[in-house]
């Protein structure tokens, strides 16, 4: 009986955490910011940034890490949401350095435009296995990248990456993981073939690193998505079925 009650309590906790709430004024203003590129705002309908930030609990004054920020879509929104009393670190992996050099780009210049545009944004460029931040942070966020942490030999270093994230968070700090959902039971191999993630494996890996799952959201759930389809097929990236998980550092 006690076990049953514990399961029900845990289920209720996750359900409450996933309950929809209207985005705060700071988040709404950040998404509406006229300084955001048109290429970013054109993606809002599918990426639902306001709803995601509200679920994550991002507020003014927080220190946030955007892990593998790409072009800075979420970094820009974070910067405006946390405001001048908060700070955002855009964390770029040095694992892509060689590819960038071959493309004629300077890997050390990643995120330069973000630092120039936002006084409260800093850039970290280094190995994921050595993940570390200059100060303890409130929240680490990674969107559509968790599966990449398994590829190109990354599965071997994943425990070190997750430990670095855990240790960089303040006690009770939050780790948000968003990724393209693979079919249930698809296994680890789809991270490289489909660029999707088996949700159950993601939960197991993050919890094994000392985190507790405290919330799940259906904000990006799309039941009509073919989970056996490659993410990068035409028009697929922002329209996939995605899981949204909130973990707390124990």
Number of residues that this document lists for the chain: 250
**What strands, in cross-sheet order, belong to the sheet with 169-180?**
121-126, 87-93, 63-67, 137-143, 169-180, 242-249, 211-217
Residue 55: pLDDT band (50, 70, 90) is very high
Nearest to 228 by CA among 194, 188, 201, 197: 194
13: pLDDT strictly greater than 90: no
Positive or negative, the CA dihedral 51, 147, 73, 129 is positive
The tokens for 87 are: 């700070």
Residue 9 has pLDDT above 80, yes or no: no
191 CA to centre of own chain: 16
Nearest to 95 by CA among 136, 40, 173, 148: 148
Taking residue 103's Cβ as centre, other Cβ atoms within 10 Å add up to 9
- Please give the Cα distance from 156 to 166 (Å, whole number): 17
What is the per-residue pLDDT for 153? 78
CA distances from 206 to 198, 209, 250 (A): 13, 5, 12
Taking only the tens place, the pLDDT of each residue in 155-183 is 899 999 999 999 999 999 999 999 999 99
Rounded to 5°, the CA angle 100-180-14 comes to 130
Confidence of residue 18 (pLDDT cuts 50, 70, 90): very low
Per DSSP (E only), the strands in 76-191 are: 87-93, 121-126, 137-143, 169-180
Least confident of 14-28, 56-70, 122-136, 231-245: 14-28
Region 230-244 average pLDDT = 85
Element containing residue 248 per DSSP (H, E): strand 242-249
Contact yes or no for 37/7 (Cβ under 8 A): no
Structure tokens at 63: 């220190």
> Which residues contact residue 244 at a Cβ distance below 8 angstroms, ignoring those fewer than 6 apart?
52, 55, 176, 177, 178, 216, 217, 218, 219, 220
Identify the residue with better confidence: 48 or 233.
48
* Six-digit token string for 27: 């988040």
Q: Which residue has the higher pLDDT, 182 or 18?
A: 182
- In whole angstroms, what is the distance from residue 128 CA to residue 56 CA? 22
Q: What is the mean pLDDT of residues 146-153?
A: 91
Q: What is the dihedral of CA 232, 187, 176, 248, to 10 degrees?
A: 180
Interval 21-39: pLDDT, tens:
899 999 999 999 999 999 9
pLDDT of residue 99: 74
Write down the pLDDT at residue 14. 52
Residues 91-116 have a mean pLDDT of: 79
């Amino acid at each position: 009986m006690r076990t049953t009650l514990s399961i029900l309590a845990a289920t209720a906790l996750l359900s409450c955490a996933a309950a929809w709430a209207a985005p705060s004024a700071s988040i709404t203003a950040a998404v509406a910011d006229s300084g955001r590129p048109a290429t970013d705002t054109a993606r809002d309908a599918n990426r639902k940034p306001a709803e995601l930030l509200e679920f994550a609990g991002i507020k003014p004054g927080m220190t946030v890490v955007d892990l593998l920020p790409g072009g800075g879509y979420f970094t820009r929104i974070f910067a405006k949401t946390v405001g001048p009393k908060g700070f955002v670190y855009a964390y770029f992996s040095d694992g892509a350095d060689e590819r960038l050099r071959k493309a004629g780009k300077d890997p050390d210049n990643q995120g330069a435009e973000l630092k120039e545009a936002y006084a409260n944004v800093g850039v970290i460029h280094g190995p994921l296995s050595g993940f570390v931040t200059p100060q303890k942070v409130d929240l680490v966020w990674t969107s559509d990248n968790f599966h990449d942490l398994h590829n190109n030999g990354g599965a071997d270093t994943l425990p070190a990456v997750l430990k670095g994230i855990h240790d960089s968070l303040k006690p009770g700090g939050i780790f948000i993981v968003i990724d393209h959902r693979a079919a249930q039971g698809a296994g680890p191999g789809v991270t490289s073939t489909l660029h999707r993630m088996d949700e159950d494996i993601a939960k197991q890996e993050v919890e094994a690193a000392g985190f507790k799952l405290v919330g799940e959201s259906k904000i990006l759930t799309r039941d009509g998505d073919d989970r056996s389809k490659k993410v990068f097929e035409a028009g697929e990236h922002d329209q996939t079925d995605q899981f949204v998980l909130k973990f707390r550092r124990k």
